[in-house]
């Protein structure tokens, strides 16, 4: 860091790479990293912003010999900031993909992932980057899917239990338990908050078809934006009712099909033909919404966006349920096919990955 200039309440510095950044006095005082202000291990703030900030006035700024920004405050407190403090938000490590990924699917070996921290990190890094990651060689045992989730976090229990079965049943109430195809979707959009991760473990696959289909929903959002920012905006603005009911549950929530962040980057998709309600209100607005929705579905169903592969017994797919849409092709109802699934959450996965990657 070289220049340190103070204009009113704004400090301007030049970072080692030449970038000029400006920070307001309030953000600097609030972000003071000294041991009096922040817990050295957890980084938790040790003072109340509401008490300290109203009186925060800068008395002077300088750059130390070690290249740190030193701020002296009117009340005598001194803050010292390393250049890293000014780093903009860490780049998201998301890597968009389409059908061309099919030749390079992120397969990992269960035995290695269990035995070696570096292999576990590689498996989780693929899930963070691509939104999904695959295992082969998982023991073909009841409930094993929960043991795999426990390698990085906590199982998210729902009204379907800690884990659930997907298998053909005669009196299926859920399309999933028939031999029909399932169009690419996110699970449980009617749940608030929606589970951010899902695991599906194949126990039996003795049918023709029943292939797994995955689509990078964020890549699809970018394609829709490229085609028409207006259509994307319609999907992002209008909440849609998603609902599910059975003998013991009534679940519903109102959420847009696409959630964008403040910079209009995709944060989440809620897309499920089975549980989607219909938009209410002005027919003209509804027609415009359907144009956008059908354009999105057209992209989701396009072979160019889909990777298709078959899970064999012992295979397990872990995916980000707000980013990656999953579905399956249809199959003959004779023969057996059985998957077990469970939900989990992304924060636990990212935490486990970050701890594995320390040092
Ligand atoms: C589901 C589902 C996948 C499959 O039940 O929601 O996505 O391969 N099943 O059967
Ligand atoms: Zn301090
Ligand atoms: Zn599903």
Q: What are 276's strand-pairing partners? A: 242
Q: What are 251's strand-pairing partners? A: 244
Nearest CA to ligand 1 atom 1: 176
d(CA 159, CA 260): 29
How far, in Å, is the centroid of ligand 2 from the Cα of 52?
A: 11
In this structure, what DSSP letter does residue 150 have? T
Q: What is the mean pLDDT of each run of 10 residues along the chain (359 residues)?
A: 91 93 97 98 97 97 96 98 82 88 98 98 98 98 98 98 89 81 97 98 95 98 98 98 97 98 97 97 98 98 98 98 97 90 98 94
Can you give the pLDDT at residue 170?
66
Each residue of 81-104: b (16+ CB within 10 Å) or e? bebebbeeeeeeebebbbeebeee
**Domain boundaries of the chain, sorted by first residue:** 3-86, 99-358
Atom of ligand 1 nearest to the CA of 175: 5
SS3 content of the chain, % helix, strand, coil (to 5): 30, 30, 40
pTM: 0.94
Residue whose C-alpha is closest to residue 223's, from 258, 188, 176: 258
d(CA 31, CA 186): 38
Evaluate the omega torsion of the peptide bond into residue 193 and state whether it is cis, within 30 degrees of 0: yes
| Tokens read off for 358 | 């320390």
Can you give the pLDDT at residue 202?
98
Neighbours of 193 (CB within 10 A): 12
With a 6 Å cutoff on the Cβ, whether 315 touches ligand 1 is no
How far, in Å, is the centroid of ligand 1 from the Cα of 298?
A: 20
Atom of ligand 1 nearest to the CA of 176: 5
Can you give the pLDDT at residue 287?
98
Q: What Cα–Cα distance (Å) separates residue 327 from each residue in 32, 311, 317, 334?
A: 48, 12, 12, 20
d(CA 33, CA 25): 14
Instruction: Among 2.30.30.90, 3.30.160.100, 3.30.450.20, 3.30.2020.30, name the CATH number for the domain at 3-86.
Output: 3.30.2020.30
How far, in Å, is the centroid of ligand 1 from the Cα of 209?
A: 13
Can you give the pLDDT at residue 173?
74
Can you give the pLDDT at residue 214?
99
Class of domain 99-358 (CATH, top level): alpha beta
DSSP-based three-state secondary structure for 319: strand
């Amino acid at each position: 860091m070289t220049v340190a200039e103070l204009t009113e309440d704004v400090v301007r510095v030049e970072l080692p790479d030449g970038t000029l950044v400006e920070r307001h006095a309030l953000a600097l005082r609030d972000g003071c990293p000294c041991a009096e202000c922040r817990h050295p291990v957890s980084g938790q703030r040790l003072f109340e912003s509401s008490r300290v900030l109203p009186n925060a006035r800068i008395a002077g700024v300088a750059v130390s010999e070690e290249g740190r920004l030193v701020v002296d405050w009117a009340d005598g407190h001194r803050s010292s900031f390393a250049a890293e403090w000014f780093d903009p938000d860490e780049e998201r490590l998301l890597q968009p993909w389409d059908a061309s990924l099919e030749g390079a699917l992120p397969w990992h070996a269960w035995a290695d992932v269990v035995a070696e921290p570096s292999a576990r990190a590689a498996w989780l890094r693929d899930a963070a980057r691509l939104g999904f990651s695959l295992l082969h060689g998982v023991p073909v045992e009841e409930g094993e899917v929960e043991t795999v989730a426990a390698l990085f976090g906590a199982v998210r229990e729902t009204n379907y239990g800690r884990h659930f079965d997907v298998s053909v049943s005669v009196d299926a109430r859920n399309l999933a338990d028939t031999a029909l195809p399932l169009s690419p979707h996110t699970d449980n959009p009617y749940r608030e908050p929606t589970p951010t991760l899902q695991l599906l473990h194949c126990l039996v696959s003795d049918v023709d078809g029943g292939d797994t289909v995955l689509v990078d929903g964020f890549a699809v959002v970018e394609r829709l934006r490229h085609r028409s920012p207006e259509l994307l905006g319609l999907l992002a603005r209008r909440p849609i009712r998603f609902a599910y009911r059975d003998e013991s549950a009534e679940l519903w929530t109102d959420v847009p099909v696409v959630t964008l962040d403040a910079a209009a980057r995709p944060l989440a998709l809620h897309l499920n033909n089975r549980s989607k309600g219909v938009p209410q209100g002005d027919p003209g607005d509804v027609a415009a919404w359907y144009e956008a929705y059908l354009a999105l579905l057209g992209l989701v169903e396009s072979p160019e966006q889909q990777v298709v592969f078959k899970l064999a017994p012992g295979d397990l797919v872990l995916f980000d349920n707000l980013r990656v849409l999953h579905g399956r092709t249809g199959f003959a109802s004779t023969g057996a096919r059985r998957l077990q699934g469970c939900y989990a959450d992304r924060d636990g996965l990212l935490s486990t990955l970050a701890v594995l990657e320390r040092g």
